Structure 1
C-alpha cells in the first residue's frame, strides 16, 4: 500500500461468499438485483467505448461513496532487473497529476473529508481507493480520471528520485528491519523458477528501484495504465444516472491503450525438496516454514485446499495445533494458508518454535501429523463448521461500501465477470470430505517442498539439518549515501489535450448531514451499563463487553496476570473443554475474543443475528464458569514468555517499551507492556489468575455495547440470567498520578546492531482525555502529524526529503493520564537529519500555522463526519466514547460546531502550550555504531546509550 505494501493472497472465503448478495450481468448496461433475507443489493456493470469497465452499486444507508480504480497490473507484469515498478506506481499516482497539481489526491482528500486516499499492490493487480462524503463524488471521478489519462507527464527525474527513497524506506521498515522479514523472499526465489513472474517480491529490490530510469517508468505506465486494463467501481449513496454522465465526461476521451496478452506460465513443480536457512538479525525464536506448490485462484482444487489448511491449523481441534502446541509443547504458534494468485499458488505452513527448540524436531512432528491424517482425515462435522463460519465472515465483509467495491473489481478482473459468483458459491458448497482428502494427497502428502529455517543470529544449530545458507541481499549502512532531493523543484511539462478545461475542479454537491445513530441506554441491577444501536443493514450482531480495570488492577509483582486471565477464560468452561467450546461457537457462526488492555478486559463478539441468544448463553458460561485448566495455563504462560522474548528483537516493540519507561519510570504500571516481564510472568501461578479474576471481573465495572440487527428489549432479555448470577464485588480502580514533566530534551539511544532503520519515539507527558482541551489539541495536531499526508511531518520528512515511509504524532489519554507522542522509522543514515528536522518543525509549528492550515483542518474535520458511523465498528466506537468519557450521543455534532468556530489564534495558543520540543524525550532505536556519535551534533546536553 501507500501506507504498507500488501502482497495480498486473495481470500477465497470472502470472495466466494459475495455470491450470497451480488448478481451481476454479462450484457452491457443490464442491471440486476438479488434479495437475501436482509439484503437488497443492486449491481450494474457496463463498458465505455474506450474499454473502461464500470461497476456500480448503490447503498443509501450512509451519505458516503467509495471509489476504487483497479488496474490489472502487479509485480507479475515486471521483468527481472526491473522489479518493483507496479508498487512504485502505486506511490507515484498520489503525488501529482496535470490538473490536480502538486499534492494530488492526498491534498484533495484532506479538503473533502475523505478516508485518506490509499492503494495496494500485489502480484496481479494494483488498486487505488477512498471513501468520501457523497457531495464529493464528482471530484473523485475527476481525480481518478486524471490519474489514468493525465498523469505521466508530471513524473520528472526529481519526483522519481524522491519516491524511490520512500519506497526503499518502506522495504527497510516492512522487510529489512523486521524479524523473519526476508522469509518470503527466500521462499519465492526457490519455489518459483527464475523466469516465473512470482519469483521476485512485490516491493522489488533496492538495486532495481535505484536503477529504474525515467524512460523505464513511462513505458511501464503507458503499457498498463489504460482504460481497457482497468475497472472503476463506485459503491454507496449516489444517483446512478448522474454518476454515469460524470464517468463518461471525465474518462470517456482517454485513449484505449494496447491490448495485452494474457499471461500464461507452466505449472510450478519441484523435483526435490529444498532446505535453506538464514540467521536473522532480529529473530529471537526459531521459525520453520514449509511451502508446497499450490493452485491458481478459482481453479478446481482451490476451494478444497482452503478447507484443508483451515482444518489443519485453525483452532484447538486442528491436528497441527494438537501435536505441536498441546502434545509436544514445542511451538508458540502454527499457521497454514493457501495462497493463490492469478497465475499460480502455494500452500505455506509456518511454525514459530519456542526458544532453543531444534527445528528438526518440529519438522518430524509436522510429518508425523500429516502421516496421521491418512488414518484420521477431516470429518463431515468439521467441514460443516468451517462453512458455517464462512457466513459470518461474509456478512462482516459487507460493513463498508468500500469492501463491496473491492470485491466486485476482484471478480471482474480475475474471474472474468462478477456473474462468476454463482459458480463460485456452487464450488464452495460442493466441497466434500473426499475433495479435501484428495487435495491433501495431491499437493501435500509426500510431495516436495521448500523448507526455510529462520533462526536467531548465532543459532544455526537449530536449523534443519542439511540446510544451505539462503542468499539474502543486506543493505550496508553508509551515511549520506543517498541522493539529495530538492523539494522545491517544480515539474514543467506540456499538458495532455482535452475537449474541456480539466483544470477546473468540480463543485461540491449538496452537503450531506451527519446522521447520528439513535442510541438507547439502560442499566441493570448488578451494575452493568448497556449502550445499544439497532442496525439491520446486515443480519449480524456485534458487541463489546468492557470490564474496567485491566492492567491497572494488576499488583506490580503480578504484571501480565490480566492478559493471561483473559486468554485463559477462552480455554474452556466448567462444562466444556476448549475444543467443545470452540465447536459450540463455530456451530453458531460466532467469533469471540477476550483481551486485556491498560484499562479494561474486553470481550468482543460477532454473531449471526438469529444465533445471538445462544451466543450470549455461551458468553455467560465463559464469564461465570471458567475452566481454569492447568495444562492450558502452562501453555499460555510459556507462550507469553516467548512473546516477551520476541519483543526483545523487534525494534518497534523496543522503542515503545523504552519510551514508556522513560515517560513513567520503571515502577509504574504503564511502564511495561501488558505481556508483563520475564520475572513476573515466570512467577505467576494459576491461583494468581483466579485472584485477579475474583477481584477485577465485576458487573459494577462493566459496560455492554452492542450494534446490530436486534432491538433493546431483546438485549435486556439476553442479559437477564447474567445480571442475576454475576455477583462479584469489584475492587476500586486506582488513580495514578500523571507522568512527571521534564524541563529539557533527553536523548535515549538503544543499540540494535545492523538496524536498517532507526525507530523514533519522541514525546512527553500531556493532558488526560478528560481535560477540557483534549479534543482541541487533537484538532490542533491535525496539520502537525495527525492528518497523514495532510500533515507537516509527513510532507517534510517523506514527501520533501524521502527520509521515511511514514511519520505521525498524536495525543492519547485516559481518565487520568495522557501523553503526546511522535512515531516514525527513518533510514539509518539520516537519523541525525530527521531528528533535527522534526525538532525544527515542532518549534515552528505555532508561528507558522496559517489561515490555509485552519481551512484544511476545518474542511476535513467537518466533512469527514459524514463517514463517522458507517460501519458496525464505527458505531461501537461511538458507544465506547460515550461510556468512557461520559459524552452525549450527539457529541460529534458538538465537535463539529467547535471546529467551525475555531480561529488561527486559538490554534497557535494550543500549539505553544502543548508542543514543546525542548522538554521532550527522544527515544531512538537503531545502529549505534554508525549513528550515536552523530546525534551529538544536536547540541543536546543529556544524550546517552541505554540498555
Structure 2
C-alpha cells in the first residue's frame, strides 16, 4: 500500500478462530478462546497508548490513529481530514523538510503511510526495532510540533497533489463517480457521509490557511488519538519514551462523539450517468443499514457473501448461469461508525440492458426468500472467515491497526477478543431477519453507469445524475514555490527535540531456514516452517504461461488456467467450491506471461485435504463447455473495458513499443477480442496436455508445517502426474532504440496524461540487475525519497506519484518511468523527467549514497516478516537458482556501492536520448505541445 492511496472504508473484521461444526435453528451461544494480549495506558493529556509484543521478527509497527475522518468535516469545508493525511508527512519542526518520509528511508522503514476514511485517519509504518525511539519522537512531532510548518506555499502545493489523486482515482477511471452519486442520495445533505472522503476540490481550493489550522487544532489533539506499538520491543523502555515525547503536548478541547444516524431513502431513487470511460453498462444498488458493532451487521456480512459469492449464490445462479447477463456479481456490507449500507454491483456485457439484470436480481431475491440459507452454507462461510481472521493477524502492522481501530470505535482494544463471538453466533434466522429488515421491499438507490450515448441501457425511469466535472485549462493553477524555506516561530519544549534520538541495538538479519526436496517426477519443492499463525500458504509455479501460445490463439493459457478452477472430473463447479470453502481454504489457478500458478492458503490442520483438492484440479479438469463459454464472454468483456481505461491502455501499448508487435512478450495475457473468440475447448486441452508438466514445476510452502508433513500429501501427485519434456521458447528482447521517439495515444477529454518512458534493459539474472536496482533507488525506486517524486510531486504538484524500476525476469525487461500527470502539464512533466535523468549521474551525492545504503541494509530486518514475503523469497531462489542466503550477498553489493559505480550504471542503463516516450491522454490539447520535447514530431498511434 503506497502512501495515501487507499481511502479505507471499514476496520478489519475479526472472525472466530474456532470452526463451528453445526448450526441449528435453535439459537446457540459460542465463545472463542482467542486472546490477543495487549497493555493499555493513558497519559494525562488524554492520549491512549496500546502495547502489543511479538518477538517473531526484530521489527515494530507504529500506528497513530486520530479519530477524525471526512465525517467530522462540515458542509462546504470537505476534504480537510484527507488533506492532513498528506500534510503530516511533509515537515515538522524537529524532523525538518521531508519529515517522516525522509527519516523512513534512512531507518529502513516500510515507508511512512496513512489512510483516511469517514471516521478516522491513521499514520503507520513498520521499522527495524532499533529505530523505535526515533519513531516515537517523530510521531509526537505530528501532534505537538507540526502545524506551524504549514504555510501558504505548502498548502497550495498539496492542494495540487490531492487534485491529482482525485483525477487518478475518480475522474480518469471508468465508473469513478459512482460512489459519489450513491452517497449523496443515500444520506441527507447534512449527514456526515453525504460527501466523499477525498472531498470537493472546490472546497479545498477555497480553503484558507486559517481554515486548515483551525481544523487541525480542534481534531489533532492527544485526547482524540490512539498510539499503538506492536512488535519486538522492551515495554518499559517504550513507556519511558512515550511519556518523554508525548506527555507535554497539551490536551485539546473536549470532543463530543457524533450521534449514530442512518441513511434515509424516503422513496427509491433511480439515477443514470453516461460515463466517457465506460465501455460496459453497470448497475449498483444501495440500501441503508446499521453502523459498526450493531448486532445485525454480522448477519449482514454473511448474508451479502452468501447471495453473491460462489457458483450456487442466488444472484449468480440467475444472472450468470441462467440469463448469462454478467460474469459475476458483488454484494457487500459496509458498516461505518455512524451508519452502514449494503451495496450490490453488477457489470453487464456489451450493449446489455440493465433492466434485464434488474429482473434477474428480483428473481434471485425471490428464490432466496423461499429457500433461505442452509446449515452447510452458513458453516462454509464461517470457515472462510476463520482463515481470513488468521491472515489478518499474520503481521505486526495488521495487529496494530486492529487494536487501534477497536480502541477508536469501541473504546476498548480488548474488543478484538470479543467481537468474533458475534459473528460466530449468527444463525439462519438472523440471516433471514436482516434480509427482511433491510432489503425486502425497502427503498434503495440504484445507479446505472452506461457508455456515452447509451442512456437507453439504464434502468427505466432513471433520472440523469449531474456531476460537476473539472475543466483543466493551461496555466489555470495557483502559482507556488515549494522550495521556499518555511519560516515560523518554533514551539517551545521542556526537552531537546531538535536532536534526533540515537539508534538502539542493531537487529541482526535472520534468514529463515529453507528446506529443499525434489520429487521423483521432477517437481522441486522449497519450504520454510513458520508457526506464528496456524496457516499454510503454498503455490505450484508451472513455467511457460503465455510464452507457449500460438500468436494466432493468444489467450489460451489464461483461459486454460481459468477453466481449471471450474470443477473437476468428479466435482461440479459448485461441489468443488464447497469442498474448498468447507476447509476454510482458497485455491486459485491463474496465468501470467511466463507461468501458470496454482496458489493456495489454508488452515494448517487442513493442509493435506487442501493438497488433495489441488491434485484433483490439476490432474482431472472438468473441461465444462458451459463454463468455457462463460469465461470467454467474461474475458471479452474485460478486454472491451480495457480499451477505455487509460492505465491499461498505457500498459498494453507500452509493451508493444518495447518488445515489438511480433514478439509474444508484447501481447496482453488475456489475448485480444478477435483471438479469444477464435479459441475452442480443444485448444485448451492441447495446451494442457502438451505443457502442464512436473518437469517445469516448482512448489513453495510456507507456514505452520514441517518438511515431512509438507511433503507427505504430495505422494499421490508424484505417482499420478507423469513428467514430459517441455521446451519454453526464448523470445529475444530488442535492444534499446538508437534514438528517442515520442508516441501518443488519444483518449479525448482525459483529465490526466498517463506516461510510460523507458527502454529494454536487463534480465533479473544479469550481473548488473541488482546493482542497477540499487542505483535506481534515489532516482525513482525509493518512493518519497526519490528525485522523481520530490521534483514532480513535492516540488511541482504535477502528479500523485511517479516511480521507476527495472523489471527483468529470465529475459531482459525494460527500465520504465511511470506516472499519471495533470493534463495541462504533460509537456512540463516530461521535460522535468528528461532533466532529472540526464543530470542524475552528476547530481547523485554522498548523502544519496548514505540514504540508499541505510534503507537497503536496514530494511532487511523486515524482509521475512510476512508469509507472502517468505513465499516470494522461495520463488526467487527456485526461479533464478539463487543461494538460500542470497539476501546476504545483496547486502555485500549495497555495502560496496560507490558514487562512481552509481554514475557508471546510470550512464550505461538509463539514457533519455535512447528511450520510448509514451503519452496516453487528450491529443486535442496536448499532442502538438510535445514537439518541444526535442525528440521529433509525436506519433499519434490511434488516428481517428
Does the TM-score normalized on the shorter chain lie above 0.5? yes
What is the rounded CA distance, in whole Å, between the counterparts of 2:262 and 2:533 in structure 1?
A: 41
1:162 alignment partner, SS class: helix
Q: Offset of 1:374 from its aligned partner? A: 1.2
Q: Tell me if 1:710 matches 2:710.
A: no
Q: Tell me if 1:220 matches 2:215.
A: yes
Matches within 5 A, 1:56-205: 56-205=51-200
Q: Offset of 1:205 from its aligned partner? A: 1.2
CA contact (8 A) 1:18 1:421 kept: no
What is the rounded CA distance, in whole Å, between the counterparts of 2:517 and 2:260 in structure 1?
A: 62
CA contact (8 A) 2:537 2:701 kept: yes
Q: Offset of 1:438 from its aligned partner? A: 0.5
Match of 1:751 in 2: 746
Match of 2:28 in 1: none
CA contact (8 A) 1:19 1:424 kept: no
Correspondence for 2:49 among 28, 47, 54 = 54
2:274 alignment partner, SS class: strand
What is the rounded CA distance, in whole Å, between the counterparts of 2:135 and 2:551 in structure 1?
A: 53
Match of 2:782 in 1: 787
Q: Tell me if 1:15 matches 2:14.
A: yes
What is the rounded CA distance, in whole Å, between the counterparts of 1:893 and 1:657 in structure 2?
A: 36
What is the rounded CA distance, in whole Å, between the counterparts of 2:680 and 2:248 in structure 1?
A: 71
What is the rounded CA distance, in whole Å, between the counterparts of 1:598 and 1:431 in structure 2?
A: 44
Match of 2:817 in 1: 822
Q: How many residues align?
A: 931
Q: Offset of 1:70 from its aligned partner? A: 0.1
Match of 1:469 in 2: 464
**Once structures 1 and 2 are overlaid, which stretch shifts more, 934-943 or 679-688?**
934-943
Match of 1:638 in 2: 633
Match of 1:26 in 2: none
What is the rounded CA distance, in whole Å, between the counterparts of 1:422 and 1:747 in structure 2?
A: 58
- What TM-score do you get using the length of structure 2 for normalisation? 0.97
Q: Offset of 1:419 from its aligned partner? A: 2.6
CA contact (8 A) 1:697 1:730 kept: no
Match of 1:231 in 2: 226
Correspondence for 1:509 among 497, 504, 519 = 504
String of CA shifts for 1:177-220, please: whole Å, max 9, x gaps: 00000000000111100000000000011111111110000000
Q: Tell me if 1:721 matches 2:716.
A: yes
String of CA shifts for 1:618-654, please: whole Å, max 9, x gaps: 0100000000000000000000000100100100000
2:526 alignment partner, SS class: strand
2:919 alignment partner, SS class: strand
What is the rounded CA distance, in whole Å, between the counterparts of 2:42 and 2:441 in structure 1?
A: 48
Matches within 5 A, 1:251-262: 251-262=246-257
String of CA shifts for 1:157-183, please: whole Å, max 9, x gaps: 000000000000000000000000000
CA contact (8 A) 1:276 1:453 kept: yes
Q: Offset of 1:741 from its aligned partner? A: 2.2
The change in CA–CA distance for 1:421 and 1:237 in structure 2 (over 3 A counts) is closer
Match of 1:682 in 2: 677
What is the rounded CA distance, in whole Å, between the counterparts of 2:174 and 2:17 in structure 1?
A: 35
Q: Offset of 1:4 from its aligned partner? A: 4.2
Q: Offset of 1:368 from its aligned partner? A: 1.3
CA contact (8 A) 1:196 1:265 kept: no
What is the rounded CA distance, in whole Å, between the counterparts of 2:899 and 2:864 in structure 1?
A: 29
CA contact (8 A) 2:11 2:402 kept: no
Q: Tell me if 1:315 matches 2:314.
A: no
What is the rounded CA distance, in whole Å, between the counterparts of 2:5 and 2:541 in structure 1?
A: 33
Correspondence for 2:528 among 523, 530, 533 = 533
What is the rounded CA distance, in whole Å, between the counterparts of 2:847 and 2:388 in structure 1?
A: 43
Q: Offset of 1:483 from its aligned partner? A: 1.6
What is the rounded CA distance, in whole Å, between the counterparts of 2:834 and 2:18 in structure 1?
A: 53
Correspondence for 1:854 among 849, 853, 858 = 849
1:45 alignment partner, SS class: strand
Matches within 5 A, 1:449-848: 449-848=444-843
Q: Tell me if 1:867 matches 2:878.
A: no
1:301 alignment partner, SS class: helix
What is the rounded CA distance, in whole Å, between the counterparts of 2:495 and 2:108 in structure 1?
A: 27
1:813 alignment partner, SS class: coil
What is the rounded CA distance, in whole Å, between the counterparts of 2:105 and 2:472 in structure 1?
A: 36
Match of 2:898 in 1: 903
Match of 2:22 in 1: none
1:42 alignment partner, SS class: coil
String of CA shifts for 1:803-828, please: whole Å, max 9, x gaps: 00000000011112221011000000
- What runs of 5+ residues in structure 1 fail to find an aligned partner? 21-34
1:381 alignment partner, SS class: helix
Q: Offset of 1:902 from its aligned partner? A: 1.1
Match of 2:25 in 1: none
2:38 alignment partner, SS class: strand
CA contact (8 A) 2:61 2:231 kept: yes
What is the rounded CA distance, in whole Å, between the counterparts of 1:16 and 1:620 in structure 2?
A: 29
Q: Offset of 1:17 from its aligned partner? A: 4.3
What is the rounded CA distance, in whole Å, between the counterparts of 2:775 and 2:7 in structure 1?
A: 35
2:255 alignment partner, SS class: coil
String of CA shifts for 1:578-633, please: whole Å, max 9, x gaps: 00001001111101111101111001101001001111110100000000000000
- What TM-score do you get using the length of structure 1 for normalisation? 0.97
The change in CA–CA distance for 1:730 and 1:276 in structure 2 (over 3 A counts) is farther
CA contact (8 A) 2:11 2:405 kept: no
What is the rounded CA distance, in whole Å, between the counterparts of 1:734 and 1:782 in structure 2?
A: 33
Q: Offset of 1:90 from its aligned partner? A: 0.2
What is the rounded CA distance, in whole Å, between the counterparts of 2:528 and 2:934 in structure 1?
A: 55
String of CA shifts for 1:473-525, please: whole Å, max 9, x gaps: 11112011112221221111111111011011000001101100000001011
What is the rounded CA distance, in whole Å, between the counterparts of 2:43 and 2:2 in structure 1?
A: 29
What is the rounded CA distance, in whole Å, between the counterparts of 2:176 and 2:911 in structure 1?
A: 36
- What runs of 5+ residues in structure 2 fail to find an aligned partner? 20-30
CA contact (8 A) 2:223 2:252 kept: yes
1:70 alignment partner, SS class: strand
Q: Offset of 1:670 from its aligned partner? A: 1.4
Match of 1:933 in 2: 928
The change in CA–CA distance for 1:805 and 1:237 in structure 2 (over 3 A counts) is same
Q: Offset of 1:717 from its aligned partner? A: 1.3
